[in-house]
Structure 1
Amino acid sequence: MATLRLLGIAAAVSLGAVGLAGCGQENGGGSVDGSGKTLDVLIGANTNKADQFRSWQAHIADAFKKQTGADLKFETFANANDELSKIQTSVVAGQGPDVYQVGTTFTPTAYSTGAFVKFDKSMWNKVGGRDRFVPATLGISGPNDQDEVAVPFTDRPYVLAYNTDLFKKAGIDKPATTWDGLLEQAKKLTGNGVYGFATGYADNYTPWKFAWTMANQAGNPLVDGNKARIDDPTVKKAYETYFGWLTKDKVVNPAAVGWNDTQAAADFASGKSAMMLMTTASSKVTFDASAIKGKYEYAVMPTVPPGQSTMPAGGSPVSSIISGDNLVIAKYSENQDLAAAYIKLLTSDDEQINYNKLFGDLPANAAAAKKVEDADPSLAPVLASASQAKSTPFTGAWGDMQLALTNVVVQSRQALSGGGVSDSALQSALAKAQKDAQASLDRAAQSK
């Protein structure tokens, strides 16, 4: 029951942040004899690039067969609820997939179940060595470097994209490094059918990241030991800023109240907005196939919180959550060495670069990341953001807390459509989020 409690509805949100399966090939692995065996892997289906995804599956299965003699069985999930059901069933029953691909924000919840293999020196060596990864991507592999369960697979640090033509016409050199400064630029860029910012208020996964980022920059990590800190002025200021772009400052298209990130990206790609906020390197594939190809660049998002011109005392210059996909191995698996060989293959230099070319996500493998950066200098800001990224709190309660932060936006959308969220309504929503978050932290503490 403890496992189910930890995996509950919180995971439904966090799991949705899980990205697509990773790509991979290179000359990793090969020493494990898997003849006659089949490795079962659970991954998320990529419906946006279905043909490429099918090709990648066939490619990686062929490479794995050549290296180990084993077959691959891919189980895919279509959405968060589907994935949650598969994971709950398997973990509780003690049978199912050998390897799970999970999003970084779900890793603490996965860790708290105790259902996945811990990576000691021997296990790290089996997947090619811990030192092969970009250091920042290891920040959420476990609560500390002695208790890690997750191997980094993809890296998706958040940045902003900006239209260089629109910036030049407005006489602006580059995006500001403070949120207040960026807002002033957005106001200057808004007009004649163009808006300063593109973002999706109805997206299932992005809105809470604005609150988390701005609060952390102001010195509030949202969790202090076993105490939630959502009912804090820094969080209220973050939501007021985020909502205000749409209702008070009017630098966002009013239609964005119903947009997800895909729609926001399409708006930016059409040249109807000057900046796309909270995007990742994977957007490059979309932007380079649009009218703005060669007319946009990436930049690190502001690291100074709203209402401040410099970093406040106790603040943290965080640019992004540690974001991406991790790979974990089930304890019940009878094919753990084979699972390690699969992970070694996916995180090898060649396969990481191959995946980047197919889907745009940055490699977690340091050597591959360096090659990608050298080949495309436009990604330098994305890698810079990765170096300034910070992990979400490593607690099994984080999924529920993420849901609570998301619900503040969900509960406010009707008011946003009507012109604005009142102070009392926002206070009430934050109080509810605080109560729910604290209850989840208390349950997590009791289950230890």
Structure 2
Amino acid sequence: MHRTRAAAAGAVTVCLLTAVTACGGGSSTGGGSNDSPKTLTYWASNQGASIEVDKKVLEPELDTFEKQTGIKVKLEVVPWSDLLNRILTATTSGQGPDVLNIGNTWSASLQATGALLPWDAKNFAKIGGKDRFVDSALGSTGAQGQDPAAVPLYSMSYALYYNKEIFADAGISKPPATWTELVADGKKIQAKGTSALGAEGANPSENVHHVFVFARQHGADFFTAAGKPDFTSDNVVAAVKQYVDLMAKDKVIPTGNAEYAQNQSVSDFAKGKTAMLLWQSAAANLKSQGMSEDTYGIAPVPVQSGAPGTGTHVNSMVAGINLAVFKNTDNLDGATKFVKFMTSDAEQKILNTAYSSIPPVKAAQADPAFSTGADKVLKDTLATSAIALPQVADESQFETAVGTAVKDLFADAAAGRAITTSSVKAALEKAQQQMPAK
């Protein structure tokens, strides 16, 4: 999904269980209303190191759009900690923007509210066609068999970032390719006095992204083929335990990281306090914190064993941002023109370069600029070994429930309480009980 979003909580279950047949956004915030057809409101997600950074990136592009079309865009950059609840409130109140960014993992949940414009063949034709977008990005735009609820804007994937100097000092010549190698390398690093791997144990969103990858590596999923929660299967339990055991048993994640929330693990890595970081498209974030690109390397997220080996070769969830339009906007034509502009080849290169993300538009992604260094690792991961989070209506509740369960398990590990198969299963059973009844 997003670069650094924190958990969106609370209102999700209540809102998504409510029948929202006449919901949407648009005119009530002074956006694309009938008496102001030359104005749009746009909620952008916080992609940069700060909201001010996002404004510096976006405002010149919005000025370009206004010059081309005569349509002024009123921009609000919304923090990830607020974005989902703001959107859900807008779906029920009808007071929202014309166009907005959504984390791609929320696509099916927000699609189920009925608030977002469906991107059918006719609407896709207005922005150049569906086939302009890469398949991996389209896989995170809504439930299978339905018209997408949004259009891909930025694509990201997780990778392993490692400090070259710390690795050299510990006598490590290459990044770990498996979790066994990561643990062994971590112990060598810690013997030299540096923490091995950073994590954000108090950040449910990060937690759920990681345990999803571990589960897929174990050949498991959190939902059945019919879309029902299946959080307590043996392989899911083993996957969650393996992730938490990086702190509890293997001791390569510092216990203090059980309390880390948004961006704290990135800050530690940028300052040289930890040797490794599992993060999505981190280059721009690290640069903003003063870390030079030549001081760290980037590699795919480790897997269970080398290829062909055992386990499934999945390195990341399909992360990214989608661009959506509220269905009841009073300026549908202007909103569509804005989506076309933001997903044009030229803008895709500008915006994804600024955010160290990968364009989900084929022509822009093919630019050689996105095929070197860190971008090559991210692009290859998206193309070959990334899987979309479950595209089910209850996905948002899943993220909150399971992400919080892992948060609680990290807290137990930090407090010295035993992390057992039984305790992990109990935490996941509790999470499953919090899911909406079918």
Give the TM-score taking structure 2 as reference length. Answer: 0.84
Aligned ranges for residues 253-272 of structure 1 at < 5 Å?
A: 253-272=254-273
Q: Is 2:405 aligned against 1:408?
A: yes
Instruction: Please name the residue that 1:162 is paired with.
Output: 162
Change (3 A) 1:190 1:330: same
Partner residue of 1:24? Answer: none
In structure 2, C-alpha distance between the alignment counterparts of 1:318 and 1:413, rounded to whole Å: 23
Alignment of 1:137-216 (within 5 A): 137-144=137-144, 147-216=147-216
Contact 2:370–2:379 (Cα < 8 Å) also in 1 = no
After TM superposition, the structure 1 stretch with the greater mean CA deviation from structure 2, 148-157 or 66-75, is 66-75
The Cα shift of 1:354 comes to 2.0
Distance apart, 1:77 and its partner CA: 3.1
Matched, 1:394 2:391: yes
Does structure 1 conserve the Cα–Cα contact (< 8 Å) formed by 2:48 and 2:355?
no
Match of 2:330 in 1: 334
Q: Percent identity?
A: 28
Give the residue type in structure 2 aligned to 1:65. E
Q: Using the alignment, how far apart are the partners of 2:382 and 2:56 within structure 1?
A: 29
Q: 2:342 aligns with which of 341, 346, 361?
A: 346
The one-letter code matched in structure 2 to 1:417 is A
Aligned to 1:368: 364
Deviations 1:305-324 (A, max 9, x none): 7xx99654xx5322111111
What corresponds to 2:4 in structure 1? none
Aligned to 2:31: none
Following TM superposition, by how much is the alpha carbon of 1:206 offset from its aligned partner in structure 2, in angstroms?
0.5
Which secondary structure does the structure 2 equivalent of 1:161 belong to? strand
Instruction: Report Cα offsets for 1:232-251 as digits up to 9, x if no partner.
Output: 22222223222222232221
Instruction: Give the conservation status (yes or no) of the 8 Å contact 1:127–1:340.
Output: yes
Distance 2:146 2:266 in 1: 39
Gaps in structure 2 of 5+ consecutive residues:
1-9, 17-34
Q: Deviations over 1:87-137 (max 9, x none)?
A: 334323445322121001111101111222222222112123222223211
Separation (CA, whole Å) in 2 of partners of 1:60 and 1:288: 21
5+ unaligned residues in a row in structure 1: which ranges? 12-33, 444-448
Distance 1:208 1:93, change over 3 A: closer
C-alpha distance after superposition, 1:336-386 (max 9, x if no partner) = 221111111111222222223433232222232232645743321111111
CA distance in 2, matches of 1:182, 1:316: 18
Query: What is the count of residue pairs matched by the alignment?
Result: 408
- Structure 2: how far apart are the matches of 1:79 and 1:265? 16
* Contact kept? 1:180, 1:309, Cα under 8 Å: no
Please name the residue that 1:428 is paired with: 426
- Alpha-carbon spacing, 1:140–1:421, altered in 2? closer, same or farther (3 Å): same
Q: Contact between 1:6 and 1:396, CA under 8 Å: does it hold in 2? A: no
CA–CA distance in 1 between the matches of 2:249 and 2:312? 27
The offset of 1:152, in angstroms, is 0.3
Q: Does 1:322 align with 2:318?
A: yes
> In the aligned structure 2, how far is the partner of 1:227 from the partner of 1:144?
15
Residue 26 of structure 1 is matched in structure 2 by: none
- Asked if the contact 1:154–1:325 (Cα under 8 Å) also holds between the matched residues in 2, the reply is yes
Rounded Cα–Cα distance in structure 1 between residues aligned with 2:208 and 2:335: 34
**Residue type of the alignment partner of 1:99:** V
CA distance in 1 between partners of 2:78 and 2:273 (Å): 34
| Equivalent pair of 1:103/1:325 in contact (CA under 8 Å) | yes
The code of the aligned residue for 2:323 comes to L
Cα RMSD for the two superposed structures: 2.8
Q: CA contact under 8 A between 1:318 and 1:389: conserved in structure 2?
A: yes
Residue 407 of structure 1: how far off its partner (Å): 1.6
Go from structure 1 to structure 2 and tell me whether the alpha carbon gap of 1:79 and 1:177 turns closer, same or farther (over 3 Å shift). closer
Mapped to 2, the partners of 1:88 and 1:247 lie a distance apart of 36
Written as runs of structure 1 = structure 2, the 5 A alignment for 1:283-302 is 283-287=283-287, 290-291=290-291, 293-302=293-302
Aligned to 1:363, what secondary structure does the other structure show?
coil
Letter paired with 1:252: I
Equivalent residue, structure 1, for 2:32: none
1:51 aligned partner, one-letter code: E
Q: Say if 1:267 and 1:10 are closer, same or farther in 2 by CA, change over 3 A.
A: farther
Structure 2: distance between partners of 1:271 and 1:422: 29
- Whichever residue aligns with residue 382 of structure 1, its letter is L
Partner of 1:132: 132
Please give the alpha-carbon distance, in whole angstroms, between the structure 2 residues aligned to 1:336 and 1:106: 22
Secondary structure of the structure 2 residue equivalent to 1:276: strand
Over 3 Å counting, the alpha-carbon distance change for 1:410 and 1:133 in structure 2 is same
CA positional deviation for 1:410: 2.7
* Aligned residue in 1 for 2:59: 58
Following superposition, the deviation at residue 299 of structure 1 comes to 0.8
Q: Which residue of 2 aligns with 1:117?
A: 117
What corresponds to 2:23 in structure 1?
none
2:251 corresponds in structure 1 to 250
C-alpha distance after superposition, 1:201-230 (max 9, x if no partner): 122420122211111111112111143221
In 2, are the aligned partners of 1:10 and 1:398 still within 8 Å (CA)?
Answer: no
Take 2:354 and 2:370, find their aligned partners in 1: how far apart are those partners? 18
Cα distance in 2 for partners of 1:56, 1:197 equals 31
Give the AA of the match of 2:13.
G
- The answer for the alignment partner of 2:230 in structure 1 is 229
